[in-house]
Amino acid sequence: MKIAVEKDQDKPLLADGHHTVEITRIDEGTSEYKGIPFFTCRFENEEGYVSQRFYQSPAGMPAIVNLFKTAGLDVKEGDELDTKQLLHKTFDIEVGERSYNDPETGNERTLKQATNFLLS
């Protein structure tokens, strides 16, 4: 089997701590277990990247609204937000680990996540 390595796929995950990053890619999907729509932002700099999911649910909307507002975009009730507006915005973020129990297996899983978004 031949596997092509595309641009920036050789970058490592960002180390824990503070980073200035750019949103270089946004993908959309639906959660595996509850069918909740989400988008994933790839936060990237020269040192590496971290991907962060944002769920379009009542619990996830405050984080989405905060991300758009932090990006300098006006958000008010009744708006339809376009994730494409976030592309190439630069943020200061904190990278760290979060653990949770996998709903399918019950096993604890740990993932890297981005938090504390500030416009750079």
pLDDT confidence band for 8 (50 / 70 / 90): low
Exposed/middle/buried for residue 94 (C-beta within 10 Å: 0-12, 13-18, 19+): middle
Kindly state whether residue 13 falls inside one of the protein's structural domains.
Answer: no
Residue with tokens 């649910």: 57
The boundaries of the domain holding residue 107 are 20-119
pLDDT at 109: 82
Torsion of CA 44, 70, 61, 49, to 10 degrees: 10
Question: Tell me: the pLDDT tens digits for 47-77?
Answer: 999 999 999 999 999 999 999 999 999 998 9
Residue 15 lies in a domain: no
Structural domain total, the chain: 1
In a domain, 77, yes or no: yes
Question: Is 63 contained in some domain?
Answer: yes
Asked whether the beta carbons of 8 and 27 are under 8 A apart, the reply is no
User: Does the residue 2 lie in any domain?
Assistant: no
Q: What share of the chain is helix, strand, coil (3-state, %, to 5)?
A: 10, 45, 40
Strand stretches in the chain, DSSP E: 17-30, 37-45, 48-55, 90-101, 108-119
**Residue 7, in any domain of the structure:** no
In this prediction, residue 69 carries a pLDDT of 94
